[in-house]
Structures are given as C-alpha cells and as structure tokens.
Amino acid sequence: MAEKELQEHTAYYNDNNAFCCKVLRKNIALGNLPGGKVDERDIREVTGEDLEGFRQIHLFAGIGGFPLGLKWAGMPENFSIVTGGFPCQPFSIAGKRKGPSDDRFLWPEMLRLVRIVKPAWIFAENVPGLLTLDGGMVIEQMLSSLENAGYEVFPPFTIPACAVDAPQIRQRIFILAYSNSEGLEGIYEEGWRINLQSTQKTLWRQWKTEPGVDRVVARISGRMDRLIALGNAVVPQVVEIIGRCILQVEREA
C-alpha cells in the first residue's frame, strides 16, 4: 500500500500540552488509540497541508477521550470526522466568561480547519456555560458559522458523565454537525435523539475514582499535569454513545 493510502487510515492529533501528547503517543503505541501523528504545536500554527490525507482529525485532543470513545463505538479509522473539545475557559462559570474577547477563544481556529478539510462529520464538546453566554448569542453565532460552512447542525444537547454510571455529574454540551452534501437530511427529526437515548441504556463500564478528587481516574498519581489533563478530558463513554448513533445514521442513510 502506498504511503499516502496508509496515512488515510491514520489519525491526526493536535494538542499543545506536552503531557497530553505523551499520553497520546503512549496509547497509540499500545494500540489503545488509532495510529497516527501527534502534533504539539499551537493550533494557530496548523495549516491545511498538515492535515492532508488524514480522515480522523482530533483537535484539542487532550488525552484522547474522543478517539477512544469512537474506537469503542466501532468507528472505522478511515471515517471522515473532526473532533474537538475547544478550550472552555472563555465560557465557564468558574471564570470571567469573556467569550470571544478571551485569548483562549479558539473556536475560530477549529472552524478554520473544518472549512479546509470539509469532513463528513463535526463533533465538539464544551461546558454548559457556553449556552448562556451573552444570552445565547455566542453559541448561535458558532452554529451559524457551521451552517455557513456547509453543515447541517443538530441543536446542542447535554449528556452528563453520570449518565454512563460515572460517579460524578460532569455536565457537558455536545455540538454535532454533518455535511449537507452527505444526503442525511432530516435525520434529527426522524428519531436521532431516540436512538441516542436507547443506545445510552446499553452501555456500562467499570469506574474508579481518586479519593478526594472525584474525577474519573484509575491508579493515577497526584501530579498536577495529570489532574489538569483529567479535568479537561471528555468522557469517552459518552463519546461512545454518540459515536454509535453516528454510525447507525450512516448505515440507515
């Protein structure tokens, strides 16, 4: 198989946190995540050329919650998708909620790369505070930007970690969109949310918590970089639920 054909079945991971990238590389080597390239640069330095040939593109990849959940869902490595848990600090009720005026507002960078790559699906995650910032105007503008880029966008929905039996609430919103050239018109109205709820009930995994921290962990030390990585991580069991629904939609389209 030619080098480019091989690359098309690998993933691209981008995160500017050195510890997270170390975790990604370790789990790629162990076969826990799809093989591919880990890029430690700031997302603002990433160009379209850097993404050529990749099908699964994980921006703000963290420690790999999106690719792990999609792998558990059975998503093929050559499935066309861009994921990203873009920084939540501009929206979180724990911060100043500066929104687009915050230097960490990096949604435009994710959108820039989406416009270049034109994946079949976009799958993003953030904190519930995004929904209420500026009376909902910020999220509306973000969704409109996806529509203008050629995507049908689902109404944002929330799934907490406790929905998959994790011992914490960890409420998160998810943004899901698919290319309007994919022939999937009307899938939301035709019961996609029902499929989401029924799929959720079939999932269960063993959880362990770190005493005194109440985050989903397993045998992890108290190093600050590890705790920060966990705090920023998307719950892969929730990603698995949504990934199964995406695949079901594709099968039925």
- Average pLDDT of the segment spanning 136-140: 89
Predicted confidence at residue 101, as pLDDT, reads 74
Residues 6+ apart with CB under 8 A from 131: 139, 156, 173
More confident of the two residues 219 and 143: 143
Secondary structure element (H or E) that encloses residue 102, with its range: none
Residues 6+ apart with CB under 8 A from 250: 184
Q: What is the DSSP string of 9-49?
A: TSEEEE-S-HHHHHHHHHHHHTTSS--EEEE-S-GGG--GG
Q: Are 124 and 84 in contact (CB under 8 A)?
A: yes
- Average pLDDT of the segment spanning 85-114: 84
pLDDT tier for residue 203 given thresholds of 50, 70 and 90:
very low
Predicted confidence at residue 205, as pLDDT, reads 46
Predicted confidence at residue 108, as pLDDT, reads 94
Phi then psi for residue 39, to 5 deg, are: -115, 115
More confident of the two residues 204 and 81: 81
Predicted confidence at residue 13, as pLDDT, reads 97
Task: Return the bridge partners of 151, or none.
Answer: 179
Query: Pairing relation of β-strands 157-160 and 171-179?
Result: antiparallel
Is pLDDT at 34 greater than 50 in this prediction? yes
State the Cα–Cα distance between residues 86 and 96, nearest whole angstrom: 17
More confident of the two residues 247 and 200: 247
State the Cα–Cα distance between residues 195 and 242, nearest whole angstrom: 9
pLDDT tier for residue 60 given thresholds of 50, 70 and 90:
very high
Task: Provide the whole-model pTM.
Answer: 0.83
CATH 3.40.50.150 fits 3-252, yes or no: yes
Average pLDDT score, the chain: 81
Secondary structure element (H or E) that encloses residue 177, with its range: strand 171-179
State the Cα–Cα distance between residues 199 and 247, nearest whole angstrom: 12
Is pLDDT at 227 greater than 90 in this prediction? no
